[in-house]
């Protein structure tokens, strides 16, 4: 089939879209990624064997006013339909992608739609207003019935979609990395001057609010000794605060974000991985974040907040510790309890689990989705 994998970002760091496309290529489909163009990027490009077209918009640099955003979307749809009407399947990533797909159907474009929801779409922002949630709920409810197949990234989200929209339970495709026999490295100790006797707890990813970073900083800043240290690696609005703390605390270190191609080398340089999402929206409550699978692939036991999917995975696979509450004291307890575990046994469980939670297993579900089409 001729398939478009549509994503309304600039497609510079979207590993799920890339993995999905490469998996569909294995089935001998003709697959093209269509994204949004930004200044400084190529309009046409091939990335790791995947052809990409970033559609240029005349209105791209205009204001972010909601009315202007609607104008931008309209221009994108017109350009998109006029260029790609001969394609047979549109793989719509996220709710904005589904909106484009449904509008394509309204133009009598006989196309099959696959809705790949990367989040709990209607409540994906911490402390989101009830008004915003309601609007997105009615939008998704009206659009999802046009999708021929629906994919979700966690079992809890799939169950919620089935209940909310009275549809067949969506297919579950976890956002796991490709399987690799990742060797251990020691980059953080060498580059940051961390001693061999210190345990490294790593937080990697977006340095933004709602992910428990402030709690982590407070917890490590308050430790009586420097036996356990926190390394935060990534970028976001809390980067400056972390850098300040790293200058004043012997237990806190900051490392710049690195390329996805070498990320696991850095991840494997830690002893434990941390995911301490706050229960501030349903997307967090039900998430199975890609970072937990990256930690496992790098051979790290994990410490997580007490949220449904992460708790289930950690306890079922015996690969770490779940904090009882999202508090500083509860996190300190989780650190202490993790150190009481037999590290060799836990890492053995991690090595077993990473063979299950890898993209090679997830793409089998994706193949069934396209067999159904």
230 vs 246: CA distance, rounded Å: 9
Confidence tier at 117 by pLDDT (50, 70, 90): very high
* Residue 13, pLDDT above cutoff 90: no
Q: Over range 218-238, report the average pLDDT.
A: 90
Q: At 315, is the secondary structure helix, strand, or coil?
A: helix
As a whole number, mean pLDDT of residues 142-162 equals 97
Angular region, 116: left φ>0, alpha ψ -120 to 50, beta rest: beta
Q: Determine the pLDDT at residue 63.
A: 85
CATH number of 187-356: 3.40.50.2000
Q: What percent of the chain has pLDDT over 70?
A: 100
Taking Cα atoms as reference points, which of 300, 304, 296 lies closest to residue 323?
Answer: 304
46 by Cβ neighbours in 10 Å (0-12 / 13-18 / 19+) ranks as exposed
* For range 346-371, the mean pLDDT: 96
The helix (run of H) or strand (run of E) holding residue 35 is: strand 30-36
**Structure confidence at residue 222 (pLDDT):** 81
pLDDT value at residue 350: 96
User: For residue 165, is pLDDT > 90?
Assistant: yes
pLDDT at 225: 85
pLDDT for 210 beyond 90 = no
Backbone φ and ψ for 80, nearest 5 degrees, come out as -65, -50
On whether the CB atoms of residues 117 and 150 are closer than 8 A, the answer is yes
Residue 274, beta-bridge partner list: 303
**Segment 69-113, tens digit of pLDDT:** 889 999 999 999 999 999 999 999 999 999 999 999 999 889 999
Between CA 30 and CA 289, with CA 173 as vertex, the angle to 5 degrees is 120
Predicted pLDDT at 328: 86
Categorize the per-residue pLDDT at 133 as very low, low, confident or very high, splitting at 50, 70 and 90.
Answer: very high
Distances (CA, A) of 216 to 5, 66, 239, 264: 37, 36, 14, 22
CB 226 within 8 A of CB 250: yes
pLDDT higher for 271 or 64?
271
Position 226 confidence tier, pLDDT thresholds 50, 70, 90: confident
Q: SS3 of 345, please?
A: helix
Residue 327 φ then ψ, to 5°:
-135, 165
Q: Tell me how far apart the alpha carbons of residues 51 and 246 are, in angstroms, rounded to a whole number.
A: 42
pLDDT of residue 327 exceeding 90 = no
Q: Is the CB of residue 18 less than 8 Å from the CB of residue 47?
A: yes
Is the model's pLDDT at 334 over the cut of 90? Answer: no
What mean pLDDT do residues 213-236 have? 90
Q: Tell me: the pLDDT tens digits for 257-275?
A: 998 889 999 999 999 999 9
Q: How confident is the model at residue 338 (pLDDT cuts 50, 70, 90)?
A: confident
- The burial of 155, by beta-carbon neighbours within 10 Å (0-12 exposed, 13-18 middle, 19 or more buried), is given as middle
Rounded Cα distance, 286 and 138, in Å: 20
Domain ranges of the chain: 2-175+360-372, 187-356
Domains 2-175+360-372 and 187-356 share a fold: yes
Is residue 326's pLDDT more than 90?
A: no
For residues 280 and 244, what is the distance between their CA atoms, to the nearest angstrom? 26
Q: Are 28 and 370 in contact (CB under 8 A)?
A: no
3-state secondary structure of 179: coil
Average pLDDT over residues 283-300: 94
Quote the Cα angle for 227-232-235, to 5°.
Answer: 170
The dotted CATH code for 2-175+360-372 is 3.40.50.2000
pTM: 0.92
């Amino acid at each position: 089939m001729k398939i478009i994998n549509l994503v309304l970002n600039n497609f510079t760091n979207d590993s799920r879209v890339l993995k999905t496309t490469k998996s569909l290529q294995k089935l001998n489909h003709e697959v093209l990624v269509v994204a949004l163009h930004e200044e400084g990027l190529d309009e046409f490009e091939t990335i790791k064997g995947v052809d990409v077209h970033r559609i240029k918009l005349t209105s791209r640099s205009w204001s972010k006013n909601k009315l202007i955003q609607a104008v931008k979307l309209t221009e994108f749809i017109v350009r998109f339909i006029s260029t790609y009407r001969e394609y047979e399947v549109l793989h719509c990533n996220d709710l904005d992608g589904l909106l484009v797909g449904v509008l394509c159907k309204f133009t009598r474009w006989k196309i099959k739609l696959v809705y790949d929801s990367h989040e709990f779409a209607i409540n994906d922002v911490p402390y989101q207003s009830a008004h915003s949630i309601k609007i997105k709920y009615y939008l998704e409810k009206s659009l999802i019935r046009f999708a021929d197949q629906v994919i979700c990234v966690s079992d809890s989200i799939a169950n919620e979609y089935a209940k909310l929209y009275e549809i067949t339970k969506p297919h579950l495709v976890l956002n796991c990395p490709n399987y690799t026999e990742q060797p251990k490295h020691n980059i953080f100790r060498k580059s940051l001057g961390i001693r061999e006797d210190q345990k490294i707890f790593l937080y990697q990813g977006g340095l933004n609010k709602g992910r428990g970073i402030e709690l982590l900083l407070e917890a490590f800043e308050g430790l009586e000794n420097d036996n356990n240290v926190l390394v935060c690696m990534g970028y976001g609005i809390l980067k400056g605060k972390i850098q300040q703390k790293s200058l004043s605390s012997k237990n806190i270190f900051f490392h710049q974000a690195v390329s996805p191609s070498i990320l696991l080398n850095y991840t494997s340089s830690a002893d434990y991985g941390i995911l301490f999402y706050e229960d501030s929206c349903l997307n967090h409550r039900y998430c199975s974040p890609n970072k937990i699978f990256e930690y496992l692939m790098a051979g790290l036991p994990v410490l997580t907040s007490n949220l449904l999917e992460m708790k289930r995975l950690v306890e079922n696979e015996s690969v770490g510790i779940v904090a009882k509450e999202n508090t500083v004291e509860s996190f300190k307890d989780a650190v202490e309890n993790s150190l009481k575990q037999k590290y060799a046994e836990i890492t053995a469980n991690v090595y077993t689990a990473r063979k299950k939670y890898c993209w090679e297993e997830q793409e089998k579900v994706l193949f069934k989705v396209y067999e159904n089409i």
